[in-house]
Amino acid sequence: MTMRERFYALAGAALEDDERVAIVLAAIGAGAIPEHPRLYDVGIREQLMIGVAAGLALEGYRPVAHSYATFLIERPWEQIKLDLSHNDLGAVLVSNGASYDDSRSGRTHHAPEDVALLATLPGWRIEVPGHPDELERSFARALRGNDRVYIRTSLEENPAPVPDDGLVVLRRASRPGPLVLAVGPTLAPTLSATADLDVDLAYLTTVRPFPRIELRTALAGRDEVALVEPYLAGTSAAEVGAALADRRHRVLAIGIENPELRRYGTPGEHRAAHGLDARGIRARLERFLG
């Protein structure tokens, strides 16, 4: 079961178990969640989807809105900025599609910019799970709160979940050296890319608020960070810079550098073209490490 499918199952259960929860859809996902009085499919109207979520939040509900990342975050951008953020209303936005999941659908269904865009707004919690179990933890936590949460699901996932939240150090090098920080589903190729490299390896799913203090703790005085993010390259580079502003440091930001790839094909071909497969990550790391 993919993260997206797990989300649909969890959303249906949440409607039954928690009378605070309301789901707002804009056609996408409508057939995947059983009908319920608090499941509202507004049709292909994404601006309305966010507005309705805001209105439900005004009345004390915990609205969950869902669509492709591009139709959830980018098309109704001003509704997210004003109806939710400026009005100080909480909601849970859960996307599918990620950067190139629907590779054959082309650019119109790809959203490598979504996290960078949403990160311009203060107060959003942005979660990039790398496994359906992590998605389940993120979604359960989001439903309990009243804040603004974005959960980005992907068809790309790691073979096993990481059981802990926050910035998790998975492996320590034999001697002090660079820290490779993999976000969400980039962990699997990053593990392969670094299998025989003597580097620290850490994992992160909650990218906003960025764990600046945890990063400093994990670095333990060292000054080299290689970020591996499954969306626009550099999305979290400024956060790393802010965390290490008091000392000289080096940052490598691996991610998508050319959103206008203009290719179809498979997700694997896109991953390789963006240098986000193990081979591409390895090549960037070798150049960075010298």
| 232, 256 contact by CB (below 8 A) | yes
Min dist CB 70 to other proteins, Å, is 17
Work out whether 56 is an interface residue with other proteins (CB under 8 A): yes
Work out whether 123 is an interface residue with other proteins (CB under 8 A): no
| 70, 97 contact by CB (below 8 A) | yes
Please give the size of the binding site for other proteins, defined by CB under 8 A: 28
Work out whether 2 is an interface residue with other proteins (CB under 8 A): no
Min dist CB 88 to other proteins, Å, is 5
- Using the contact rule CB under 8 A, the part of the chain among 7-15, 79-87, 222-230, 237-245 near other proteins is 79-87
**60-81: burial string, b at 16+ Cβ within 10 Å, e else:** ebbbbbbbbbbbbbbbbbebbb
Min dist CB 248 to other proteins, Å, is 40
Work out whether 251 is an interface residue with other proteins (CB under 8 A): no
| Amino acid of residue 230 | P
| Contact string (CB under 8 A) for other proteins, positions 167-206, x = contact | ----------------------------------------
CA separation for the pair 180, 235 (Å, rounded): 15
Q: In this structure, is the dihedral angle defined by the CA atoms of residues 195, 192, 68 and 109, taken in order, positive or negative?
A: positive
Min dist CB 58 to other proteins, Å, is 6
Work out whether 8 is an interface residue with other proteins (CB under 8 A): no
Within 8 A by CB and 6+ apart from 232, the residues are 112, 113, 115, 116, 255, 256, 259
User: Across-strand partners of 119?
Assistant: none
Work out whether 73 is an interface residue with other proteins (CB under 8 A): no
What does the longest C-alpha to C-alpha distance in the chain come to? 59
Work out whether 86 is an interface residue with other proteins (CB under 8 A): yes
- Using the contact rule CB under 8 A, the part of the chain among 4-12, 75-83, 117-125, 164-172 near other proteins is 75-83
Min dist CB 74 to other proteins, Å, is 15
DSSP state of 188: H
Within 8 A by CB and 6+ apart from 128, the residues are 115, 152, 154, 183, 184, 185, 204, 205, 206, 207, 230, 231
| Among positions 15, 50, 252, 276, the unique one binding other proteins when judged by CB under 8 A | 50
Look at residues 289, 214, 288 and name the one whose alpha carbon lies nearest to residue 244: 214
Work out whether 58 is an interface residue with other proteins (CB under 8 A): yes
Work out whether 260 is an interface residue with other proteins (CB under 8 A): no
Positions touching other proteins (CB under 8 A) are: 22, 24, 40, 42-43, 45, 47-48, 50-61, 63, 78-79, 82-83, 86-88
